[in-house]
């Protein structure tokens, strides 16, 4: 399977020639110079959607429903400011010096204790602290994937993961977990690793059930394939108790843990994304490989952020702020789905998610290209994310991802009204 262009705005399928950083005259009369080497080829096979929705907040009056952004009102600003002050004043060796590549030992111990469970024994040797969850994805690609090797990815797949692995030039084997005939062992066999977001997948918001989690873990154990469990939304359950992590299901056996599941966590959705603190929990051999890759990446995650995280966990800060966050996001999910039912019911199909940050809506009209809808929606003052950027095959151009955590109910309702107008306008003019 080819790794094809997934550009969201109708770029040609064949990748363009990478940009040349310099050519021709130097600017001095009569002087010439040789052209500089071109940038790496993979840069010609990128999309601009992430940049679009992160910068959408700068457009006056635009309602951004594209990014997976938390509401700043959920951040415990005063408490974090005090933790930062105390970290610098009381623990300058941790906060201001170069920390160990693998992370502060006390924070690694804290993460190991937090995620240990009956049958799952974790120690600091199972934990690497990363600079956000995205770095964990990047490092996994570096240690496991060479050009042309296969990643079995839950499809649709998280855009950030696809971007992180793009320089590795992998091939993708889509895993459509909702298909009745999905066979986990067949999907994972021969792949470098399997990639899943089992708790309220980005982009679809789907929750992978317990039976399927067990099947994926069993397949990873049978095939020997690593199974990456990316879990940024694991605390954002609105309607039920959390399901067991695949890490926990894979825990029986060696002490410390030596199973096939590689678990990625982050503080971005639980506390504040600007801390840029995440973690990888995995077999010690995997952690050692990731440490080597991190050494050549950023050398270490900032000690101040690590110290704030350690003290926040010790003080129970995350547990204190989570109930209010869940109540806020649950109400916003309900508001978005109600607005969609009123304004989009004849245009899209969707399932209300039971957690996470997103609603995934599929156009009823086969002629609607959501790459083109993105442009039309921006003209109508709303930003959404088209499905093509989540598809390793670049084929799905009929769905959209809508975020409900950033905006209040009034903005969500107005954003949906604008989206309905943009959709009808695009359908009226036809596919450009």
Protein fold of 41-70+321-426: 3.90.1150
Per-residue confidence band for 432, with pLDDT thresholds at 50, 70 and 90: low
Q: What is the mean pLDDT of residues 28-47?
A: 80
Q: If 0-12 CB within 10 Å is exposed, 13-18 middle and 19+ buried, where does residue 423 land? A: buried
Kindly report the CATH number that applies to the domain delimited by 77-315: 3.40.640.10
pLDDT at 253 (0 to 100) = 72
Q: What percentage of residues in the chain have a pLDDT greater than 70?
A: 90
What confidence tens digit (pLDDT) does each residue in 166-190 have? 999 999 999 999 999 999 999 999 9
Domain with CATH 3.40.640.10 in the chain: 77-315
**pLDDT tops 60 at residue 33:** yes
Q: What is the pLDDT of residues 117-166, one digit of tens each?
A: 999 999 999 999 999 999 999 999 999 999 999 999 999 999 999 999 99
Q: Where in the chain is the domain with CATH 3.90.1150.10?
A: 41-70+321-426
Q: Do strands 382-383 and 226-230 pair parallel, antiparallel, or not at all (unpaired)?
A: unpaired
Supply the pLDDT for residue 393.
Answer: 80
- d(CA 310, CA 314) in angstroms, rounded, equals 6
Q: What is the pLDDT of residue 32?
A: 83
The pTM for the full model equals 0.90
Per-residue pLDDT, 337: 98
pLDDT at residue 416 greater than cutoff 70? yes
Give yes or no for residue 310 having a pLDDT over 90: yes
Task: Answer yes or no: are the C-beta atoms of 394 and 426 closer than 8 Å.
Answer: no
What is the biggest distance separating any 2 CA atoms in the chain, rounded to whole angstroms?
Answer: 76
Give the least confident one: 29-38, 72-81, 391-400, 409-418. Answer: 29-38
Whether the per-residue pLDDT at 291 is higher than 50: the answer is yes
> DSSP code of 17?
P
The model's confidence at residue 28, banded by pLDDT at 50, 70 and 90, is: low
Torsion sign (Cα): 134, 136, 142, 147? negative
Segment (H or E) for 148: none
Residue 2 confidence (pLDDT): 43
Confidence band (pLDDT; 50, 70, 90) for 363?
Answer: very high
Average pLDDT, the chain: 91
Mean pLDDT, residues 357-363: 98
User: How far is Cα 377 from Cα 374, in angstroms, rounded to an integer?
Assistant: 5
Query: Does 5 score more than 60 pLDDT?
Result: no
State residue 386's pLDDT score: 95
* Residue 10, CB-side half-sphere exposure with 13 Å CA sphere: 10
pLDDT at 255: 84
pLDDT tens, position by position, 249-279: 998 777 899 999 999 999 999 999 999 999 9
Instruction: Out of 26-40, 281-295, 314-328, pick the least confident.
Output: 26-40
Categorize the per-residue pLDDT at 6 as very low, low, confident or very high, splitting at 50, 70 and 90.
Answer: very low
The more confident residue out of 65 and 41 is 65
Query: The tokens of 205 are what?
Result: 């918001």
pLDDT at 307 over 90: yes
**d(C-alpha 390, C-alpha 214), whole Å:** 25
**C-alpha to C-alpha distances, 192 to 103, 221, 260, 261, 288, nearest whole angstrom:** 26, 13, 12, 13, 18
298 or 23, greater pLDDT: 298
Of the listed ranges 30-44, 348-362, 393-407, the one predicted with least confidence: 30-44
What is the rounded CA–CA span in Å between residue 426 and residue 394? Answer: 21
What are the angstrom distances between the C-alpha of 361 and each of 211, 333, 370, 420? Answer: 25, 14, 11, 12
The residue with tokens 């009034």 is 410
Q: Report which of 174, 240, 207, 233 is spatially closest to residue 351, judged by C-alpha positions.
A: 207
Q: Measure the CA–CA gap between 15 and 39, rounded to whole angstroms.
A: 14
Once rounded to an integer, what is the mean pLDDT over residues 287-294? 98
Q: What pLDDT, on a 0 to 100 scale, did the predictor assign at position 7? A: 35
10 Å Cβ neighbour count for 365?
12
pLDDT of the residue at 108 = 98
Residue 12's pLDDT band (cuts 50, 70, 90): very low
Question: Is pLDDT at 321 greater than 50 in this prediction?
Answer: yes
Least Cα distance to 64 among 340, 329, 377 occurs for 377
Identify the pLDDT of residue 212: 96
CA distance 110 to 107: 5
Q: What is the pLDDT of residues 276-289, one digit of tens each?
A: 999 999 999 999 99
Q: Is 27 exposed, middle or buried (0-12, 13-18, 19+ CB in 10 A)?
A: exposed
Strand partners, 279: 129, 265
CA 279/CA 128 separation, integer angstroms: 6
């Amino acid at each position: 399977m080819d790794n094809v262009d997934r550009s969201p705005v109708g770029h040609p399928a064949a990748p363009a020639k990478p940009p040349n950083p310099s050519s021709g005259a130097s600017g001095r009369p009569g002087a010439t110079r040789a052209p500089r080497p071109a940038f790496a080829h993979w840069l010609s096979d990128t999309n601009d959607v992430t940049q679009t929705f992160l910068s959408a907040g700068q457009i006056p009056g635009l309602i951004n429903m594209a990014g997976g952004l938390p509401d700043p009102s959920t951040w415990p600003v005063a408490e974090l400011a005090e933790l930062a002050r105390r970290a610098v004043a009381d623990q300058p060796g941790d906060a201001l010096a170069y920390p160990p590549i693998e992370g502060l030992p006390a924070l690694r111990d804290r993460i190991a204790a937090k995620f240990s469970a009956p049958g799952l024994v974790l120690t600091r040797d199972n934990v690497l602290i990363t600079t956000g969850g995205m770095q964990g994805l990047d490092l996994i690609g570096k240690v496991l994937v060479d050009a042309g090797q296969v990643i079995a990815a839950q499809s649709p797949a998280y855009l950030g993961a696809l971007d992180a692995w793009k320089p590795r030039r992998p091939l993708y084997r889509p895993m459509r977990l909702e298909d009745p005939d999905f066979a986990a062992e067949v999907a994972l066999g021969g792949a470098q690793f399997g990639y899943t977001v089992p708790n309220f997948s980005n982009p679809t918001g789907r929750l992978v059930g317990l039976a399927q989690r067990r099947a994926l873990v069993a397949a990873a154990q049978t095939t020997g394939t690593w199974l990456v469990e990316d879990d940024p939304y694991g605390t954002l359950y609105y309607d039920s108790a959390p399901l067991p992590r695949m890490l926990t299901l894979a825990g029986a056996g060696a002490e410390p843990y030596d199973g096939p599941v590689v678990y990625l966590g982050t503080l971005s959705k639980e506390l504040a994304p600007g801390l840029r603190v995440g973690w990888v929990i995995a077999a010690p051999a995997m952690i050692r490989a990731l440490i080597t890759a991190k050494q050549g990446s950023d050398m270490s995650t900032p000690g101040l952020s690590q110290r704030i995280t350690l003290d926040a966990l010790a003080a129970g800060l995350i547990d204190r702020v989570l109930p209010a966050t869940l109540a806020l996001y649950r109400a916003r999910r309900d508001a978005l789905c109600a607005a969609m039912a009123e304004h989009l019911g004849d245009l899209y199909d969707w399932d209300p998610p039971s957690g996470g940050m997103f609603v995934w809506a599929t156009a009823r009209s086969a002629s609607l290209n959501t790459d083109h809808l993105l442009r039309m929606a921006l003209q109508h003052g709303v930003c959404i994310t088209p499905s093509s950027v989540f598809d390793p095959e670049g084929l799905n151009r009929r769905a959209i991802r809508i975020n409900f955590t950033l905006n209040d109910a009034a903005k969500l309702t107005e954003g949906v009204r604008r989206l309905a107008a943009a959709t009808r306008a695009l359908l009226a003019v036809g596919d450009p």
